[in-house]
Homo-oligomer: A and B are copies of this chain.
Amino acid sequence: MTAPVGIIMGSKSDWPTMQHAADMLDTLGVTYEVKVVSAHRTPDLLFDYAKSAQGRGIKVIIAGAGGAAHLPGMAASQTSLPVLGVPVKSRALNGIDSLLSIAQMPGGVAVGTLAIGDAGAKNAGLLAAQILATSDNELLARIDAFRNQQTETVLAQPDPRNAD
């Protein structure tokens, strides 16, 4: 069976960021596929990927890219699946270019944008799961459990001065 989430990224060098999306999906028991798809160096692959994703059983696409980050928006131009965008921290401008390139889409083609960097990738995995959970109560229960555990972890260590 095809995985319901497709994680794509513009370059192999984006993987240290994007693996946080994969790790979150692992935590929540959601399967996924991972692929390097470059908007600028492999545009035809990008279009094939985005056009075929729904037919292959993909439900949500997570796309990460940095700098002039066109991957999420261009994926969204070729599919009606929800596309989530992760702005990867860029070398010169720390990802503010990535964030604006992904978030500032024109009306009519949407990308749900997450935070710059690791936190954003982690949350892309989480939001993809939340989207799938709108029709999957078992997954919803696992998300609730993850969130509860996350809350408990904070509550269990109220004093920041203590060692872990």
Contact = CB atoms under 8 A, between A and B. Distances in A.
Interface of A: 9-12, 14-15, 18-20, 34-36, 38-45, 47, 59-60, 66-68, 70, 73-74, 76-78, 80-82, 84, 89-97, 99-120, 122-124, 126-127, 130-135, 140, 143-144, 147, 150-151, 153-155, 157-161, 164
A157 B127 CA distance: 28
Q: How many copies does the complex hold?
A: 8
A105 B140 contact: no
A59 B134 contact: yes
A42 B109 CA distance: 11
Given A40-B76, A68-B73, A134-B135, A161 B107 contact: no
